[in-house]
């Protein structure tokens, strides 16, 4: 039997990009390709890029050039670049990257089939609003065996000054609730226990659908959590607007919806929020935080802020720090502003020097580390459920996993000892040590019986 042709994938950026990469993995599998972790032995290499901010763009470009060397040193015959970077700069990349054989955009995942059959053109970047993933699309889920991301929608209707996502992904296009539940049901049947619901603007799910097809986000979350086999359901990218009582009730009380909220707030000074075109001020943000804290005991609150946005003064940055001290977020991401040529903020006055933005970044992250360390140390001596992910990177005899307050690929981990276990098992663990972001624990009680399911490895790089 002839050896199958081999394909290698690198996925850059966010979890939403990861789902797109997994669809392309499914396309490659359907076309008879074997997936390899070794770029040197692959006849086809695919780089799914991120083009959101300057740092991500640089990483995408560096990765393309690095893997382009495989056309000289390895087995590579076709180098394919897909995703947001090629959607944003198709002509520029085509002119400057002669080593790239095919360009696909952010909604062209299924066109990989044409590339692999030899019928694809070099430039295949289409309209970003032409596609949203469906349960019927091929997909090979990667990463930890019992966890998967599921997209609720694609695109975004917001007009935040710093963001170019609507240009790269188009207007919001929500999936039907039935289609989402169908995909979750199929994933659960393969052993997936944790469903991570993502989109660009999750709280707006369904608003773009015809009236007769609209389903409240709370109802969809309940349906997902009630799928047999699902143990954890997690929500990402909630916008800080008025949250309805039904959604808060589901977060607070459903036994298979984790008490975890991911809500990027971006800033806390009124003037900055206005420049960012966020549509609300600090008072609303404080009310949202207080409401969620009061309604959901044991809540893990993750947010993100931008420092160095045009016009940010020292006083406004201090206001942001004070807000972070007050809110005591369990998780926080901090980003240094990137001047994007097609964003609304690029024309604003008051550019913040890079050295000042970096100083503010370090100060806010230092503040957050102190909060995270204290909250982690409060868990020492308690027992939590942990989803085991496999051997740790530190030592093959040490396992790693996550408790419900730790999202995959984003938050810290729990390092595990005291018993043998297998990836995909849900185990009770007593926490014995804590650091700034990670925990150490010992297994309690016997392991569950599990059916072994093989997963494909996908190189993920978070931008």
Does 3 have pLDDT greater than 80? no
Q: Which two tokens stand for residue 73?
A: 């040193």
Contact by Cβ (8 Å): 401, 389: yes
Instruction: Give the DSSP per-residue string, 151-212.
Output: ESEE------TT--HHHHH-S-EEPPHHHHHHHHHHHHHTT--EEEEE-SSGGGTTTTS-GG
The pLDDT score that the predictor gives to residue 454 is 46
Contact by Cβ (8 Å): 238, 273: no
If DSSP codes are grouped into helix, strand and coil, which group holds residue 320? helix
CA distance 281 to 263: 15
The pLDDT score that the predictor gives to residue 2 is 66
The pLDDT score that the predictor gives to residue 55 is 84
HEC string of 253-315 equals HCCCEEEEEECCCECCCHHHHHHCCCCCCHHHHHHHHHHHHHHCCCCEEEEEEEECCCCCCHH
Q: Which among 34, 31, 26 has a CA at the least distance from the CA of 139?
A: 26
CA distance 399 to 392: 5
Neighbours of 462 (CB within 10 A): 15
The pLDDT score that the predictor gives to residue 462 is 43
CA distance 69 to 366: 39
The pLDDT score that the predictor gives to residue 145 is 77
pLDDT digits (tens, 9 = 90+) for 6-18: 999 999 988 899 9
The pLDDT score that the predictor gives to residue 1 is 57
Average pLDDT over residues 24-49: 96
pLDDT digits (tens, 9 = 90+) for 185-207: 999 999 999 999 999 999 999 99
The pLDDT score that the predictor gives to residue 450 is 54
Work out the percent of the chain whose per-residue pLDDT is above 70: 96
Residue 129, CB half-sphere, CA atoms under 13 Å: how many? 8
Question: Which stretch of 65-79, 151-165, 252-266, 382-396 has the lowest confidence by average pLDDT?
Answer: 382-396
Question: Which stretch of 129-133, 163-167, 419-423 has the lowest confidence by average pLDDT?
Answer: 419-423
Q: Which two tokens stand for residue 80?
A: 């394919």
CA distance 101 to 73: 16
Question: Which stretch of 95-109, 131-145, 198-212 has the lowest confidence by average pLDDT?
Answer: 131-145
Q: Which among 85, 89, 90, 83 has a CA at the least distance from the CA of 154?
A: 83
Average pLDDT over residues 246-273: 97
Does 459 have pLDDT greater than 80? no
How does DSSP classify residue 142?
B
CA distance 113 to 25: 10
Which domains, and CATH codes, for the chain? 6-127 (3.40.50.12160), 147-377 (3.80.30.20), 383-444 (2.40.50.140)
pLDDT digits (tens, 9 = 90+) for 310-324: 999 999 999 999 999
The pLDDT score that the predictor gives to residue 4 is 87
pLDDT digits (tens, 9 = 90+) for 384-400: 999 999 888 777 668 99
Does 453 have pLDDT greater than 50? no
The pLDDT score that the predictor gives to residue 392 is 84
């Amino acid at each position: 039997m002839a050896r199958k042709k081999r394909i290698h994938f690198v996925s850059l950026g966010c979890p939403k990009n990861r789902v797109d990469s997994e669809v392309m993995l499914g396309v490659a599998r359907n076309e008879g390709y074997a997936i390899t972790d070794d770029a040197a032995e692959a006849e086809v290499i695919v780089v799914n890029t991120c083009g959101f901010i300057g740092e991500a763009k640089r990483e995408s470009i560096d990765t393309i050039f690095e893997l382009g060397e495989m056309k000289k040193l390895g087995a590579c015959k076709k180098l394919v670049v897909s995703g947001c970077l090629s959607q944003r700069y198709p002509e520029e990349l085509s002119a400057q990257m002669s080593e790239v054989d095919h360009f696909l955009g952010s909604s062209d995942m299924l066109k990989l089939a044409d590339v692999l059959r030899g019928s694809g053109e070099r430039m295949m970047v289409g309209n970003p609003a032409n596609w949203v993933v469906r349960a019927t699309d091929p997909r090979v889920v990667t990463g930890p065996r019992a966890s998967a991301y599921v997209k609720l929608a694609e695109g975004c209707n917001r007009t935040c000054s710093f963001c170019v996502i609507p240009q790269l992904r188009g207007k919001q296009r929500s999936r039907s609730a039935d289609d989402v539940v169908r995909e979750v049901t199929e994933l659960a049947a393969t052993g997936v226990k944790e469903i991570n619901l993502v989109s660009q603007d999750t709280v707006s799910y369904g608003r773009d659908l015809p009236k007769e097809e609209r389903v409240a986000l709370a109802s969809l979350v309940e349906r997902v959590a009630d799928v047999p086999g699902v143990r954890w359901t997690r929500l990402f990218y909630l916008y800080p607007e008025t949250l309805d009582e039904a959604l808060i009730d589901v977060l607070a009380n459903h036994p298979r919806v984790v008490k975890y909220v991911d809500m990027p707030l971006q800033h806390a000074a009124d003037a900055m929020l206005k420049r960012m075109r966020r549509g609300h001020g600090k008072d609303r943000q404080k009310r949202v935080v207080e409401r969620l804290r009061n309604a959901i005991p044991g809540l893990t609150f993750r947010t993100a802020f931008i420092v160095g946005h045009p016009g940010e003064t020292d006083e406004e940055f201090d206001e942001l720090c004070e807000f972070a001290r007050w809110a005591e977020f369990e998780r926080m991401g901090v980003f240094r502003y990137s001047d994007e040529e097609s964003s609304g903020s690029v024309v604003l006055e008051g550019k913040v020097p890079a050295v000042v933005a970096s100083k503010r970044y370090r100060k806010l992250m230092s503040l957050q580390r102190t909060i995270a360390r204290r909250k982690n140390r409060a868990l020492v001596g308690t027992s939590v459920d942990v989803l085991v992910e496999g051997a740790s990177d530190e030592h093959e005899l040490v396992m790693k996993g996550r408790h419900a307050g730790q999202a995959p690929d984003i938050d810290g981990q729990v390092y595990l000892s005291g018993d043998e276990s297998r990836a995909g098992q849900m185990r009770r663990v007593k926490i014995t040590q804590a650091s700034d972001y990670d925990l150490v624990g010992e297994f309690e009680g016997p392991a569950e019986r599990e059916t072994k399911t093989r997963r494909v490895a996908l190189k993920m790089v978070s931008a």
